[in-house]
Structure 1
Amino acid sequence: MKSLLFIFLMVVGCGVAVGLTREYIFFNYYYSWYSAQSYCRQYYRDLATITSNEENEQLLRSGPSYYESWIGLTMLYTSTWTWSDGEPALLQKWNEGSPYFSLRNEEFCGAMNSNGFWINHPYWYGHPFYCYRFLILVKEKKTWEEAQEFCRTNYTGLASVTSEVSLKQLNLETVGTETESVWTGLRFMDGQWFWVNGEQLGSLVSMPSCPALSYRCGALNTTTNTLMNQNCNEKMNFVCYWK
């Protein structure tokens, strides 16, 4: 697997994309750590990786604060804590008394508590969990179709904005945009608006029910933080997601 550092330097060095912002997604399914890992790897990138205090706070804000929830922290295969995606666990946010180990030969994995600190449990415990994927601002001006093709070719697809939480996470990545609005994966077709990656429409979408033919693409205005329909042929920056 190519290192994330190499990929980061490659996209930034080419002047195409800026940064890699982790978007965290909370799921209130009570899965074992292994099952949560499998789910995240199928639909996103992996179980949540946390590499800074800022990311730790960002993850805490992206879900309910009253759950203990799996993150990607594991000691399943090594004698040191690592992340599910292979990154070393350099940051330490353990709760007082953690990590703990029983006398039994059990496999332990990490979770986050309601205060944003880490705890560990046997892998077979059922917990909600956090997945993550990357958001990437592309500072090239393209039409909606061109942006979608670029994202699908180089990453996974155009990003979606399905909630206030995902909007705040997208805001972190669009700080450096060169255009006031950025393309998202919102599209109108067959009489309805939808996200092209298949996610639920969410509460932030309030669009004309019958837009003009050329205005059937959705963009995020980074000044007003609102989704709006835009001329699909307008050339703007855009945000891809990468799983």
Structure 2
Amino acid sequence: MFRVRVSAFRLIGIFMLLSMTESISAPLEYYYYNQILSWSDAQSFCRRKHSDLATVTSMEEAQLLAQTTAGLGDAWIGLRNDGTAKWLWSDGSGEPLPLLWIAGQPDFSGGCVDTIASGWNDYNCTTTRRNLVCEDAQVPYYYPQPDLWEWTAARDHCRSLGMELPKIKGMPDIAPILTPSLHVSVWIGLFWDRWAWSDESTSSLRYWTLGEPANLQGCAIVNVTDQGRWYEEQCETEMPFVCQGAGNLRRVLIKLKMESDGDLDRSAAGAQLLKQLEAQFRSQGISDAKLSWKSDIRRQDEINENPAAESHGPGPCDKLKWND
């Protein structure tokens, strides 16, 4: 008769060890999956297999995302309209903002900001045209041409030059932008936004296709036919998706002190116990755990050679090894 006695702790205590799991991840990579899932299901998949749905923090990463999806199909990324509106900078920095509004602003008539000598104004991003100034670490301010631009077109033009719309950190930053030829107003990189990343990144980088987002209270999709730009779709729509981060390699070694009349690794009772544990892991959303027994042969040999040693500690010890 085969007997098993778990004397270290109850099996339910095993799952307390999940918080001690070690994760090993590589530098940022994007992984395209041609599985058709809703945004929430794709998020769960990516969090289990990698780290999360794709986050984009710079134009370099936006281009990497475009390369990853090129020739495949439109796919979910980790950006979702969460309803919490905030002012952000277009360079992706997500830094705190100074309050440089002129009297009566912002009036939320638009969602993009220009500046005059006395401060900021809130205007419509697509119907208002302003002068264009680009900013770069090497070339502080660049004036491409005197034409008037919509905010989105102005931002995209600066990005095509490897620059961004200016970021204003204080009133002294405004005066250098307003040259005599641009004395009326110029766009800056400030915009009104309701979107948030699945991994809670503070990145304010947005790369929408023209006319987007569509204000559907939805989720973002990378568009493979528009240079990797993004558009909005209802989150319940089923789409392929892009995960970020290397696959998580997690190993948990769970030690169970057991006494048995046989080898757990080869017995039907040991196999049945593993099945029960795997079922418990699946109930917690871990569907790919692989469990196996690892016997402490050295301890068994010591007991066989010196029966008195058995009185100094527990019986034959089997270790449960889990690789995810």
Same fold (TM over 0.5): no
Larger of the two Rg values belongs to structure: 2
Structure whose residues are more often strand by fraction: 1
Higher relative contact order (CA 8 A, sep 6+): 2
